[in-house]
Chains A and B, each alone.
Chain A
């Protein structure tokens, strides 16, 4: 569907945020006034927006986007993938006009509709009907346009009986459905969608994705941020992979997603910190290694839904006599803790004062347990069974692959947080079929 006409053109786009300085917090008037007295010349622009001066080395800063250049043609449906903090949302916000780049430029042809967070414009005291009009207006729709689409929106959201009820009486799921439905009927030339599909129940998610597919077939340009690789592959022809504010790869969806997943398993599946001084940790412990591997074959690249896998944590205990316990929580892409585990009491070294030294614990997770998807592991070290002394978020990230090639449903998602192998039995009870007469 894509044409040769540009929809988005980005050149050397850079967004820097200052860190460590007071900009991160709310500036109080007193701070500005005292700065003004102390450094009158430097602070003459103190009342201006705190633009980050790229030439000013005095301030530590972090680049949410660093010299990104790319062009998107009219009608293209482009997926944007990468870790949290890779710059995906910042890029969307610049394109939507919510925030300004520090350097470089982004040109957008046509109207832009953005769906970056869902339902932020809702007012709890207003009814569903009233909120449809309010939220629609916030999204830039005209009143006549909203009226014309009103019935479709209500039907899509499946909230017809509650349309005159204040939104504060809605369940969270109903609110999300209503918000997505209003946004789904926007008619911009360019649609920016950020991860919002990870809302609602599975059936509604599928409906949202189907709607996105419909919209994309009308020739609209869509930029779609998601951690759901199956959805990305199904919706987008082209995928851009961002990491640390830069484009790592830009190309056909299958290629880029495959490369991204491979990097996930390589980079985040096995961390070794050989140098004690540089290892993460604190005065109690230091990490030496964190790894995830399939049980039987440590070199195998992929973990599938059938493979059992081992989570290995190696650490130095620095306090002789400490009674330590490891606690592992595995989160799925929606941020749900799928399971949380600690070594049982009869495990060697468990509940015993540990002499200083290097220890390794392995957690053996069986196959046929988790559904496919990306998982994050958080490690907590607990002293004396109760006091957390160290926590490391996302110490590991890994992907579990689906082994079946085809699935019912067009984007091929097998539902469920877990995917156990469950025995079934079917028997023929009788050869007699009652007939009506």
Chain B
């Protein structure tokens, strides 16, 4: 897989990530506040319509923090995936003229979504204080594992879509739809506990289900501790990641000719 080469180019990944972050909020008035506004406003709207009016259950946790906790990893995933799937096309002139490991582009895209997530988390800390909800130490230790799962899922799907995007420009139009459908197929506005077993485990075939539920469990103690559903999700994530890596590697030889 020539992954050693990628390691030699780690500074390139660093600079590409740095470029994405640096450029993202240039010439905006609100700047980095956008990283908070997006999930926060979504949370407010959800709390009014789903939480208050529709009375969607939230595992006995106040609805606003229930939704916001899920929106953090989801927004990270959606941003990372969206950027990653367009990054190869966006770097067309680079690809045609300079050699570097092409994997650096989608990887840097997903890394570039990390700071926004960290900023959005600061609001979560405030909400925890307001609602007096504190995570247990054990659960908190597992949090990075679940974040890594979200990272790998975004990267795996990003590998697939960015490589396909070079050959089939349909992908560009499909990505926003896919992300929207995926959003509603993931327990963000509602809990996975709406489903009974064995359906709940099967639900884990959507890798983001495991990520979101586990994330919420580790921060809020909601739902049940990670079990079969999260394991199914993790396995799907690994499968998508490894297959995406292979597919990308296989396709990248023709990028410069096709793009």
- A120 neighbours in B (Cβ, 8 Å): 93-94, 96-98
Taking a contact as CB atoms under 8 Å apart, the answer to whether A50 and B258 are in contact is: yes
Mask, A45-72, CB within 8 Å of B = 1, is 0001111000000000000000000000
- B253 neighbours in A (Cβ, 8 Å): 49, 99-100
- B95 neighbours in A (Cβ, 8 Å): 98
Taking a contact as CB atoms under 8 Å apart, the answer to whether A123 and B23 are in contact is: yes
Taking a contact as CB atoms under 8 Å apart, the answer to whether B257 and A116 are in contact is: no
Mask, A68-106, CB within 8 Å of B = 1, is 000000000000000000000000010011111000000
A100 to B253, CA, bound (A): 6
- B99 neighbours in A (Cβ, 8 Å): 96-98, 112, 114
- B22 neighbours in A (Cβ, 8 Å): 125-126, 130
Count class of interface residues, chain B: 20 to 34
- A29 neighbours in B (Cβ, 8 Å): 168, 170-171
- A142 neighbours in B (Cβ, 8 Å): 11
Chain B residues proximal to chain A, CB less than 8 Å: 9, 11-12, 14-16, 18-19, 22-23, 26-27, 93-100, 167-171, 250-251, 253-254, 256-258
Taking a contact as CB atoms under 8 Å apart, the answer to whether A134 and B98 are in contact is: no
- B11 neighbours in A (Cβ, 8 Å): 137, 142-143
- Of B9, B18, B19, most buried by chain A (CB within 10 Å of CB) is B19
Of B15, B26, B251, which one neighbours A133 at CB under 8 angstroms? B15
Q: Which residue of B lies closest to A48 (CB)?
A: B250
Task: Answer whether residue A171 sits at the interface, using C-beta atoms and an 8 A cutoff.
Answer: no
A381 to B162, CA, bound (A): 46
Minimum CB–CB distance from B112 to chain A (whole Å) comes to 13
Residues 123-171 (chain A) with a chain B CB within 8 angstroms: 123, 125-126, 130, 133-134, 137-140, 142-143
7 A–B pairs (Cβ distance < 8 Å), ordered by A: A17-B257, A50-B258, A96-B98, A99-B257, A100-B253, A116-B97, A138-B100
- A121 neighbours in B (Cβ, 8 Å): 94, 98
A301 to B121, CA, bound (A): 77
Taking a contact as CB atoms under 8 Å apart, the answer to whether B167 and A27 are in contact is: yes
- B19 neighbours in A (Cβ, 8 Å): 123, 126, 130, 134
- A30 neighbours in B (Cβ, 8 Å): 170
A142 to B10, CA, bound (A): 9
A48 to B257, CA, bound (A): 13
A94 to B28, CA, bound (A): 42
Q: Contacts A27-B168, A28-B168, A126-B23; is A116 near B98 (CB within 8 Å)? A: yes
